[in-house]
Amino acid sequence: MAEQIALEITRYSPERDKTPSMEEFEVPLRKEWVVLDALNYIKDKVDGSLSFRWSCRMGVCGSCGMMVNGEPKLTCATFLNDYAPGPIRVEPLKNFPVMRDLIVEISDFLAKLSKVKPWLIRKKEKPISEGEYLQTPEELDSYRQFSMCINCLLCYAACPVYGLDPLFAGPAALALAQRYNMDSRDEGKSERLDVLSQHDGIWGCTFVGECTQVCPKHVDPAGAIQQYKLTAAQEWVKSLLMPWGGK
């Protein structure tokens, strides 16, 4: 008989359950299988009612983030063998309301992401006839790391501040704001600074650094936030020394 491993999985149906509970399943322990493979095996072969999110299975879409033995992980990149002999505890991401089983409600994150304006802002667009907004390799490298965010929300599940303060914008949103602030084509830095230089923005971060530790794309949200803090402090000093904008 093929070797097996146990998965303890959070089950919650809002129509039936008052609180989440755990249910154990046995799945084949195969060398090439990740946790997401095991979840799909359960859904296909054992219990079709098991609910979870996934899409690409390639560490790109960011939708299969869950807590695996208490740590935020992309389940498409988390191998069963690393947790043998088990059991493996699979739960929905921390710090988010649970909708069903392993699916969490992310509307709060989406609202905060929109608030930081994570897109290129131009005061005046040049005519198409004048060509593209070109960048040097050095200008691209200045923000490339922060642009790798896939919105998997692992950093939010790891962030103790977000867990305690529902107003805090959170690591991914702040890192993406810094990504556009550092883009040579963007002119919206001051608009974002007005929003994010508040307590619920960059100053809410206590620099625990867990967001950077769990990031599967090595974005370093903690580093982005500290850069942003330095910029905000410089702008504050400039406003004291030059209250009329230097005019």
CATH number for position 209: 1.10.1060.10
Determine the pLDDT at residue 247: 46
Determine the pLDDT at residue 96: 97
Q: Any idea what the CATH number is for the domain that residue 79 is in?
A: 3.10.20.30
In this structure, is residue 70 part of a structural domain?
Answer: yes
Cβ atoms 74, 64 nearer than 8 A: yes
The total number of structural domains that make up the chain:
2
Determine the pLDDT at residue 245: 60
Q: CA-CA-CA-CA torsion for 121, 125, 126, 131, nearest 10 degrees? A: 60
Are residues 68 and 163 part of one domain? no
Are residues 95 and 28 part of one domain? yes
Determine the pLDDT at residue 2: 63
Are residues 120 and 14 part of one domain? no
Determine the pLDDT at residue 5: 97
CA distances from 144 to 91, 188, 210 (A): 32, 18, 21
Q: Looking at 73, 104, 135, which one is the last position of a domain? A: 104
Cβ atoms 32, 120 nearer than 8 A: no
Determine the pLDDT at residue 31: 93
Are residues 230 and 153 part of one domain? yes
Separation of alpha carbons 41 and 18, rounded Å? 27
Are residues 149 and 67 part of one domain? no
Determine the pLDDT at residue 38: 98
Structural domain including 207 reads 107-241
Determine the pLDDT at residue 228: 87
Residues of the chain with pLDDT under 50: 1, 247
Are residues 126 and 222 part of one domain? yes
Separation of alpha carbons 190 and 203, rounded Å? 16
What Rg, from alpha-carbon coordinates, does the chain have? 21
Q: Looking at 54, 73, 104, which one is the last position of a domain? A: 104
| Structure tokens belonging to residue 103 | 């699916």
Q: pLDDT tens-digit profile of 47-59?
A: 999 999 999 999 9
Are residues 81 and 133 part of one domain? no
Cα-based angle 201, 225, 113 (whole degrees, multiple of 5): 50
Cβ atoms 74, 83 nearer than 8 A: no
Which one-letter DSSP state was computed for residue 145? G
- Candidates 73, 48, 46, 49; CA nearest to 62 is 73
Q: Looking at 104, 119, 143, which one is the last position of a domain? A: 104
Determine the pLDDT at residue 232: 82
Q: Taking the CB of residue 88, how many other CB atoms lie within 10 A of it?
A: 20
In this structure, is residue 246 part of a structural domain?
Answer: no
Are residues 181 and 74 part of one domain? no
In this structure, is residue 111 part of a structural domain?
Answer: yes
In this structure, is residue 80 part of a structural domain?
Answer: yes
Are residues 79 and 22 part of one domain? yes
